[in-house]
Copies of this chain bind each other. A is one copy, B any other.
């Protein structure tokens, strides 16, 4: 799409509205939104104003919130009212979440009363809960209706409703009691009561369920929409699978940032300023520097034995690295295992045991290689023995810790991915160096 950009900018300058529309008519709403977000404000507004109102609303919903704000501020009041009243309720709530008080008040004052109530209801839920994800744009019927009644109702409201393929059945108290699909409706006899054909076994989310839990339910039950109910079972909205895909991407991005100890992610890579980025990363690095000083102290402590220091120094990096790397491997594997549900907190001992064994096996291999190098480079078999034993012990501890710490974090209700590679590497440095020098000191004393 961006290929079109220079062409469009030329057409805007020439005010060749017909030609611009010829291009846009061929593009999807997402592609038009992408073009608008790459144009400078005034040109984006010019193009947006060319769009017929239906298409304009669809395109508007695809913009990011900053651009929505910009466009909404620039269009005339009639278009403002149309957009605000008719855009998807969940996207609208996300927009209002970011508005300043002045604009919020103004926009609410020109909207229809029922839409104002809808915004206020959706804003009352935290954005990362089922309530914050849901939309109020769905079809309900009541359990005493017939299939014919339901089809009639559907025809009446389908035009303004995006999600018509699952129809929710409520009882007299607005509790969600069942679900029918549009497929069932068109296949069944119109005289049959809805309550007879509805499926009562259905997955519901609670308004206060965390968005991660919602994503896991979608993934497990392979549904494309899910009803959201409050504490009393009263239906409040539905969540659609496209928003769930966004949640999954968001959560995975967060995992990767946490695991890289890079803080919380900004909206997109280039959207964050250099200074803000530096500040976010600095916090973790500073903490880790203090931990690095600890490793330095270990070296300092043993460096009084001058001779020892000199013999062992060249193996410091390989020992430090191997502990950190093996721990990072284990942490990556366990963090992902927790995220996809393979590993639960109750498995903690099984995980530690597995990881310790894997670490001992791997460590033995690395130890042989390192000892061999010590012998071949003339450091001698004795140094090889010291380095090798330190390697096995550090790597086994590192993998066990890499398995244990994410589960501990989970247990403490923290994000397991906060147990980052850099964090683990730095902890392991202290431990590996301590083990290394202590083994060396003892062995050397042993042989006098």
Contact = CB atoms under 8 A, between A and B. Distances in A.
Given A182-B182, A422-B325, A426-B325, A354 B296 contact: no
A95 interface: no
Given A249-B248, A365-B282, A421-B421, A293 B328 contact: no
A262 B403 CA distance: 13
A275 to B, nearest CB: 7
Given A262-B332, A317-B320, A26 B201 contact: yes
B248 A362 contact: no
A253 B340 CA distance: 8
Interface in A232-289: 241-242, 244-246, 248-249, 252-253, 255-257, 259-262, 265, 268-270, 274-275, 277-278, 281-282, 284-286, 288-289
A350 B320 CA distance: 33
Interface SS, A side: helix
A365 to B, nearest CB: 6
Contacts of A421: 259-260, 328, 421-422, 425
A50 interface: no
B182 A183 contact: yes
B296 A315 contact: yes
B317 A270 contact: no
A164 interface: yes
A325 B257 contact: no
Interface string A322-357: 101110111111111100101100010011001001
A280 B159 CA distance: 55
The oligomer's copy count stands at 2
A28 interface: yes
A105 interface: no
B321 A425 contact: yes
A216 to B, nearest CB: 10
A313 interface: yes
Contacts of A429: 317, 320-321
Given A219-B246, A309-B313, A333 B282 contact: no
Interface string A145-174: 000000100110011000011000000000
Nearest to A218: B245
A42 interface: no
Contacts of A262: 329-330, 332-333
Given A296-B315, A310-B306, A361-B275, A281 B425 contact: no
Nearest to A245: B219
8 contacts: A155-B187, A159-B187, A270-B347, A289-B366, A292-B317, A292-B321, A300-B314, A328-B422
4 closest A-B pairs by CB = A260-B332, A292-B318, A295-B317, A269-B337
